Structure 1
Amino acid sequence: MSDGPRSGMWPAFRRWRARRPFWGGLLLTLGGAEILLTEKASMKVVMHIGMQGLAGYLLPGLMLLCGLLTLFNPAQRLFYSLTGVLLSLGTWITSNLGGFFIGLLLGVTGSCLAFGWLPDQEPRVSRRRKRESAARARTERAEPA
């Protein structure tokens, strides 16, 4: 019994995810979204700087945009990750201490992951299989002697 069109969706998503800094872009996007959501907090601690809090909405909005662009345009990941980390650090001042630290940490972590992602690196599973097959070949060569 086949799932029909859904049977190929998960492998297709895994291939798409493997060709881009997925976790870095996702964390950067989530950090921007979290900071935007904390802008509406009903606390007296909420800080706004600029023309009626424009910077408080602009920086996390740009963080969100950098995260999405990292996901959908991985060739420019270095620019987006550097911009994302600067925007994340800027939210410390402009947006409720960076979304009460959570959004700031998500943004910085995601930007660092996106910056460190290497497109030419083969997936871990295949590297592990190559090591295991090489070890198996060595033991097979050693046994007949």
Structure 2
Amino acid sequence: MLITVPERPRRGPRAAFRGWRARRPFWGGLLLALGGGEILLTEKASLKVVMHIGMQGLAGYTLPTVMVILGLLILFNPAQRLFYSIIGILLSLGTWLTSNLGGFFIGLLLGATGSCLAFGWLPDQEPRVSRRKRRKQARAATHAVPDGAEGTTA
């Protein structure tokens, strides 16, 4: 006896990624992680010098590392995005003092923007309809034939 399973429509990797991305604050987490990565890349002090400086030098590496981790947590655990984004904005602003003016402003701005995007993301929001689609729907509604006017001629 052969049992057949009904065919499901197959989705390609791009469509699967778009579906995964739509269920989380993707751009917020990505920008926060990129901001932390940029700040880490602009750090020029070696670890030996950082240990000699003390806590101030260690914070220059710790804050952007935690920013990268928070960005990844926002991507993979969006239920806690509010907490992660608040900590992310505080760390982004803290890099102003600890890490070359926040990675020469670029990492600071990326981290702050990503944190704000993650904080403002709403999971149950309807997808936006583009202006072009709204106009097309309005034109279709005005050109539709009313129910009672099918058999009449004017």
When normalised by structure 2's length, the TM-score is: 0.76
Question: 1:84–1:96: structure 2 CA closer, same or farther, 3 Å change rule?
Answer: same
Q: Are 2:85 and 1:86 equivalent residues in the alignment? A: no
Does structure 2 conserve the Cα–Cα contact (< 8 Å) formed by 1:26 and 1:71? yes
Between the aligned partners of 2:145 and 2:53, the Cα distance in structure 1 is: 70
**1:139 Cα offset (Å):** 3.4
Counterpart in 1 of 2:120?
116
Cα distance in 2 for residues equivalent to 1:53 and 1:22: 31
Question: Where in structure 2 are the equivalents of 1:1-145 lying within 5 Å?
Answer: 8-40=12-44, 50-51=54-55, 53-125=57-129, 129=133, 132-133=136-137, 135-141=139-145
Distance (whole Å) between structure 1 residues aligned to residue 129 and residue 96 of structure 2: 38
Q: Alpha carbons of 1:109 and 1:52: their partners in 2 closer, same or farther (altered >3 Å)? A: closer
Offset, 1:129: 4.6
For each residue in 1:92-128, what CA deviation from the matched residue of structure 2 results, as whole angstroms up to 9, or x when unmatched?
0001100000000000000011111110112225897
| Structure 1 contact 18–123 (Cα < 8 Å) conserved | no
- Is the deviation greater in 125-134 or in 74-83? 125-134
Matched residue type, 2:105: F
* Structure 1 portions without partners, runs of 5+: 1-6, 43-47
Q: For 1:126 and 1:119, locate their aligned partners in 2 and report how far apart those are by CA, in whole Å.
A: 19
Larger helix percent: 1
CA distance in 2, matches of 1:55, 1:63: 12
TM-score, normalised to structure 1's length? Answer: 0.80
Q: CA 1:128/1:72 → structure 2, altered by over 3 Å: closer, same or farther?
A: farther
**Runs (5+) with no aligned partner, structure 2:** 1-10, 47-51
SS at match of 1:124: coil
2:24 maps to amino acid: R
Question: Counterparts of 1:86 and 1:11 in 2: how far apart (Å)?
Answer: 35
**TM-align CA RMSD:** 2.8
Q: In structure 2, what is the equivalent of residue 45 of structure 1?
A: none
2: distance between equivalents of 1:134 and 1:119?
A: 28
